[in-house]
Amino acid sequence: MHIPLTLGDVHAQIDTVAAALRELTVAGAALTEPRVDDGLPPFCNGIVLAPWPNRVRDARWSHDGQVQQLDITEPARGGALHGLLQFTDYEVLSRSDAMVTLGAFIAPQHGWPFALETDVTYALEPDGIRVTHAVRNVGAERAPYAVGTHPFLRVGVTPVEQLTLTAPAASYFEVDERLNPVAEAPVTADVDLRPGRVVGELRLDTAYGSLAHANPADGHGDSAWLDAPDGARTTLWQDLAWGYLQVFTTREFPGPDGPATAVAVEPMTAPPDALNSGQGLIWLDPDAAWQGSWGLRYRGAVS
């Protein structure tokens, strides 16, 4: 089901499947790649990644000395990718013109002996959107949790390859041939996004850490921004507790005129394979709750 949201000249479409952000515009300018059909979201466009973002190596991890075997959701690489909700049709818990809260239960299942109630709130703001993820452990065991989302960002109609991407991240995760992280290291010149890089020159499927959130206020700060040549800017912000970003570029994103360059900038509370490394994992005691937010805002061309 699609849920339209409106606040002045800000419009969004939310999909109940994977609680996905289908579309977001401010004053007619697209901040994200729009979904154009009801098929599988191309390259996971807009979906929620919970209770872990990115990959779990071999879909296996260990908990209290026991091997946990998750379902293999990326058979080509043998991993478990993007959590357990990417094909879940969320329930609408509350709704108004400019806000919707969607809920999903994560049931105990293969490799995941925990029970979590989760919800996602999309709330429009005058210049963008605020997205809040909440979780409560309804099981009898302490449970790990991590969350991320998978928006592809735009700045209106400017071709994405012409945009400049900046992200204040001082470290990145080296990966093996199956894209599993093997080490966190200071960013090298080829992956350093701090100076601002033209998207058309980037080839990334890379996780970043050591984020120095810019303009911190109220517990959150800017984690990445895309600038168009005309001065328009789309900014991603995330809670200070969200310490990670995945940046993914593709030349094959299905656009209205055929394959196009697109860039996903994915806010995450934990890096890839966190169930094995433990890095960034949030641990919830029985009945404990957690919530965190990220958002997008838009600034028009400087005239």
Partner 1 sequence: MSITFTRERIVLDNGAARAEVGLVAATLCELSVGGVRLTETVQPDSLPPMGCGIVLAPWPNRVRDGRWMLDGEVQQLDLTEPALGNASHGLLRNTAYRVAEQTADAVTLAAFIPPQHGWPFALETTVRYALESDGLTVTHRARNVGDRRAPWAVGAHPYFRIGETPVELLSLRVDRPQYLELDDRLVPVAAHEVEGTGFDLRNARSLAEVDVNTAYGDLEASIGRSEAAWLESPDGSLLAVWLDEDFRFLQIYTPRAFPRPEGPGLAVAIEPMTAAPDALNSGWGLLHLEPGQEWTGGWGVRYTPAA
Phi-psi region of 290 (alpha: psi -120 to 50; beta: other; left: phi over 0): beta
- The structure tokens listed for 283 are 């641990």
Q: Which is nearer to partner 1, 27 or 140 (CB)?
A: 140
Residue carrying the six token digits 């499947």:
17
Kindly list the distances between the CA atom of residue 127 and the CA atoms of 7, 25, 42, 85, 232, in Å, as whole numbers in the listed order: 9, 9, 26, 29, 13
Q: How far is the CB of 105 from partner 1 (least distance, A)?
A: 4
Q: Which is nearer to partner 1, 18 or 247 (CB)?
A: 18
Q: How far is the CB of 191 from partner 1 (least distance, A)?
A: 29
Q: Which is nearer to partner 1, 9 or 89 (CB)?
A: 89
Q: How far is the CB of 101 from partner 1 (least distance, A)?
A: 16
Q: Which is nearer to partner 1, 105 or 194 (CB)?
A: 105
Q: How far is the CB of 51 from partner 1 (least distance, A)?
A: 12
Q: Which is nearer to partner 1, 20 or 199 (CB)?
A: 20
- The structure tokens listed for 12 are 């969004």
Q: Which is nearer to partner 1, 75 or 186 (CB)?
A: 75
Q: How far is the CB of 59 from partner 1 (least distance, A)?
A: 7
Strand duo 128-137 + 143-145: pairing: unpaired
CB burial of residue 290 (10 Å; 0-12, 13-18, 19+) = middle
* DSSP labels, 79-114: BEESBS-TT-BPEEEEE-SSEEEEEEEE--BTTB--
Strand duo 66-69 + 2-7: pairing: unpaired
**Cα dihedral angle (75, 76, 79, 85), rounded to 10 degrees?**
-60
Q: How far is the CB of 133 from partner 1 (least distance, A)?
A: 18
Q: How far is the CB of 272 from partner 1 (least distance, A)?
A: 18
Residues 212, 80: Cα–Cα separation, whole Å: 29
Q: Which is nearer to partner 1, 119 or 227 (CB)?
A: 119
What is the contact surface with partner 1 in residues (CB under 8 A)? 17, 38-40, 59, 64, 66, 69, 71-73, 75-76, 84, 86-89, 91, 104-105, 107-110, 113-115, 138-141
Residues 85, 146: Cα–Cα separation, whole Å: 13
